[in-house]
């Protein structure tokens, strides 16, 4: 099996920059959610590394839950069709929900998720994403409350993000070579 380094075009965001920005996001979220009933909802599987680093930067008594949805299959374009593969374990009624995503591309996944969760009676719902590709947005009604980095229209992997389930273990964010996904 080859090393993943050969499959990357470049490093987009290195480990140090990730940790520095996540520390800042944690401070901001901590300030905003003081005195609230925060539930972090990680969207599996892409957000695992981001969520696990982010939650350590938020010294509040918060809860965590997970959802898994599928919209892509093995392709690199969103289909707009979202399926819930794993739902929350907890009731979010009267909770202050913060959805934690790896990346927002078309925004279709998040638009569906936010509408779905908002019907369950939370006190508030906000969105935190590590990466945002605003040039690719299709769902215009998505408001991102916390964003780590705005990135160009490249397919990125690493730090939890995959292409066909691979590359999640790369410790930084890299751009995948175009010939591998086009």
78 binds ligand IMP per the rule CB under 6 A:
yes
Q: Which residue do the tokens 């927002």 mark?
A: 104
H or E element in which residue 52 lies: helix 48-55
Closest to ligand IMP by CB, 17 vs 78, is 78
- Other C-beta atoms closer than 10 Å to the C-beta of 63 total 14
7 DSSP 8-state letter: G
46 binds Mg ion per the rule CB under 5 A:
yes
**89 is a catalytic site residue:** no
Closest to ligand IMP by CB, 91 vs 118, is 118
Residue 146 partner contact from ligand IMP, Mg ion, none using kind-dependent CB cut-offs of 5 to 8 Å: none
Closest to Mg ion by CB, 46 vs 122, is 46
Closest to 57 measured CA to CA, from 35, 40, 37: 40
Least distance CB 69 / ligand IMP (angstroms): 8
Asked if residue 118 lies in contact with residue 97, where contact means CB atoms within 8 angstroms, the answer is no
String of contacts with ligand IMP for each residue 109-148, x by CB under 6 A: xx--------------------------------------
Least distance CB 88 / Mg ion (angstroms): 19
Closest to 128 measured CA to CA, from 3, 27, 6: 27
């Amino acid at each position: 099996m080859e090393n993943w380094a050969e499959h990357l075009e470049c490093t987009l965001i290195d480990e140090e920059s990730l940790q520095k920005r996540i520390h800042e996001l944690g401070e901001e979220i901590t300030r905003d959610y003081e005195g609230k009933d925060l539930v972090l909802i990680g969207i599996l599987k892409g957000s695992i590394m981001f969520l696990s680093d982010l939650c350590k930067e938020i010294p509040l008594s918060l809860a965590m839950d997970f959802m898994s949805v599928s919209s892509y299959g093995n392709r690199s374009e969103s289909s707009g069709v979202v399926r819930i593969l794993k739902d929350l374990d907890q009731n979010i009624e009267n909770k202050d929900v913060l959805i934690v995503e790896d990346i927002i591309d078309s925004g279709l996944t998040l638009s569906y998720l936010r509408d779905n969760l908002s019907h369950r009676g939370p006190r508030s719902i906000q969105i935190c994403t590590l990466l945002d590709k605003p040039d690719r947005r299709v769902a215009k009604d998505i408001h991102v409350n916390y964003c780590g980095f705005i990135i160009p229209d490249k397919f990125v992997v690493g730090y939890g993000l995959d292409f066909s389930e691979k590359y999640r273990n790369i410790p930084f964010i890299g751009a995948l070579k175009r010939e591998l996904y086009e």
